[in-house]
């Protein structure tokens, strides 16, 4: 019995700018589909547009893929490096009679279209060289190689997302595959590369659906087995219009710089246009178990940054502390901030239990955790300083003495501080402000008891003493 064919998917971005979140989602869908089925996920850089392709943009793609955690098999393939192979296939199609030499100049083609527009006819170009005998070809003249596309009937794309999509062949022209300068067109290069790379499933944006009809004709002319086509609706803004900068960040690394954890971004992008029942929050393992092409909707997905915040908060709360610290380390490096010292790293990790439950981003964790990162002297901000009047400083001096020999556990600390407040006719809430100012230099912090437990007895007493002795 024949073994089932291994599934091979790919992502093939053009290195002409940032890695768009639409590209990131397409990459993620391909990655999920392949990885869940024991297949291969490949990366191809479509860099044949030499004028617009840049090394920086290529690096941006690699950075985006790595940050998202989308590993690919083998080396990234450069489409430009395969130009000779593309030309080889074009000439093979010429030899088979599925393509022809077109000697028409750009001026002649434009004149044809101008005349068609003036007469109200279709501007679809029909080359006079399609059926011209070889002996009529001008000697030494440059020529393009065009596909000899079928003129009658239909080209049907059986799409795993869109269903059967039919294109009338009389609405498709004999597209150029190899330009007169010997360079391939995108249409040819994509097909040849996908075939040579063994791609079994082409999962991409539905802005390529029209391209599929043309590319299918190349597959069929060459006698190659077509891949499974799956064209995904694009991502729109909250207003239902094409996603743009006015809707928020459009580059995947912008979200990394905002401090969205990669796991949260994977969850959010997976759910953006795909569903598994009513599940909104899920792990990578669940996504891999559930993802299939049948779950992709046909309507454009809408970016919802509030929902992304919620997803990020859930993942931060669920995340293992070691993994979360690794995310924070990467975030600081990405945003050009100083790395944590070993002592800061250890203290922040120790504090994570009281930092991550309500945080919706990595910067929020760092902000809440400043008490663990700060070094003496702890300088209170304007809001916190208002709590350190002469009376409060006097109470802090008393509490420091009482804490000297107290057991350093939550119950004992809570009892000691509550009793200290009551001795002055205060509820603990009135004492919390001065304690927050002393321990963190801020008025909004984790609980006083959590901060004391994290930084320990020696540092707590030192900070309280410092605040108590500060001149008002």
DSSP string, 275-314: -STT-----HHHHHHH--GGGB-SSPEE--HHHHHHHHHH
Q: How far is CA 227 from the centre of its chain?
A: 25
DSSP H/E element including 157: strand 154-159
Bridge partners of 10, per DSSP, are 42
Interhelix angle for 448-468 vs 390-403, to 10°? Answer: 110
Active-site residue 430, yes or no? no
Write out the two tokens for 431.
Answer: 């004492």
- Whether 448 contacts 429, CB under 8 Å: no
Half-sphere exposure for 428 (CA within 13 Å, toward CB): 10
Which stretches of 5-140 are assigned E, i.e. beta strand? 8-11, 40-45, 77-78, 99-102
- Whether 184 contacts 150, CB under 8 Å: no
- What's the rounded Cα separation, in Å, for the pair 370 and 240? 40
Tell me the CA distances in angstroms from 252 to 18, 23, 107, 243, 270, one per residue in order. Answer: 8, 9, 42, 13, 14
List the catalytic residue out of 242, 245, 427, 430: 245
Write out the two tokens for 232.
Answer: 């995904």
Residue 224: strand, helix, or coil = coil
Write the burial class of residue 174 (CB in 10 Å: 0-12 exposed, 13-18 middle, 19+ buried).
buried
Write the burial class of residue 472 (CB in 10 Å: 0-12 exposed, 13-18 middle, 19+ buried).
exposed
Residue 122: strand, helix, or coil = coil
Closest CA to 172 of 184, 191, 159, 154: 154
Q: Which residues are catalytic?
A: 245
């Amino acid at each position: 019995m024949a073994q089932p064919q291994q599934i091979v998917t790919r992502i093939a971005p053009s290195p002409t700018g940032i890695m768009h979140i639409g590209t990131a989602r397409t990459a993620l869908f391909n990655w999920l589909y392949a990885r869940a089925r024991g297949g291969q996920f490949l990366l191809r850089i479509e860099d044949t547009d030499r004028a617009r392709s840049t090394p920086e943009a290529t690096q941006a793609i690699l950075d985006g893929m790595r940050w998202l955690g989308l590993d690919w098999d083998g080396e990234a393939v450069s489409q430009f490096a395969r130009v000779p192979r593309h030309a080889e296939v074009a000439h093979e199609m010429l030899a088979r009679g599925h393509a022809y030499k077109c000697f028409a100049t750009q001026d002649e083609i434009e004149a044809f279209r101008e005349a068609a527009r003036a007469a109200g006819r279709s501007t679809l170009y029909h080359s006079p060289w399609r059926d011209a005998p070889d002996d009529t070809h001008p000697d030494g003249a440059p020529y393009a190689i065009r596909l000899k596309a079928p003129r009658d009937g239909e080209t049907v794309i059986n799409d795993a997302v869109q269903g059967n999509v039919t294109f009338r062949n009389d609405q498709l022209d004999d597209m150029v595959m190899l330009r007169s300068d010997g360079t391939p067109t995108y249409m040819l290069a994509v097909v040849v590369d996908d075939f040579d790379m063994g791609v079994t499933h082409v999962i991409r944006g539905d802005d390529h659906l029209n391209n599929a009809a043309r590319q299918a004709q190349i597959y069929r002319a060459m006698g190659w087995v077509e891949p499974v086509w799956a064209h995904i609706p694009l991502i729109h803004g909250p207003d239902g219009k094409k996603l743009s900068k006015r809707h928020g960040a459009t580059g995947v690394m912008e979200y990394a710089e905002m401090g969205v954890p990669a796991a949260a971004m994977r969850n959010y992008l997976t759910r953006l246009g795909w569903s598994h029942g009513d599940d909104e929050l899920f792990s990578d393992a669940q996504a891999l178990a559930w993802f299939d092409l049948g779950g992709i909707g046909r309507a454009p997905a809408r970016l919802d940054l509030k929902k992304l915040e919620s997803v990020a908060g859930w993942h931060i709360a669920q995340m293992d502390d070691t993994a979360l610290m690794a995310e924070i380390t990467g975030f600081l490096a990405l945003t050009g901030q100083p790395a944590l010292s070993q002592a800061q790293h250890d203290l922040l990790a120790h504090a994570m239990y009281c930092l991550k439950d309500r945080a919706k981003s990595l910067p929020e964790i760092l902000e809440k955790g400043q008490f663990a990162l700060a070094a003496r002297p702890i300088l209170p901000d304007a809001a916190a300083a208002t709590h350190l009047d002469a009376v409060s400083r006097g109470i802090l001096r008393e509490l420091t003495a009482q804490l000297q020999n107290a057991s350093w556990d939550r119950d004992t600390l809570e009892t000691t501080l509550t009793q200290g407040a009551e001795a002055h006719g205060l509820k603990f809430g009135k004492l919390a402000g001065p304690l927050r100012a002393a321990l963190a230099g801020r008025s909004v912090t984790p609980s006083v008891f959590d901060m004391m437990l994290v930084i320990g007895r020696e540092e707590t007493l030192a900070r309280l003493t410092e605040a108590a002795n500060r001149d008002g």
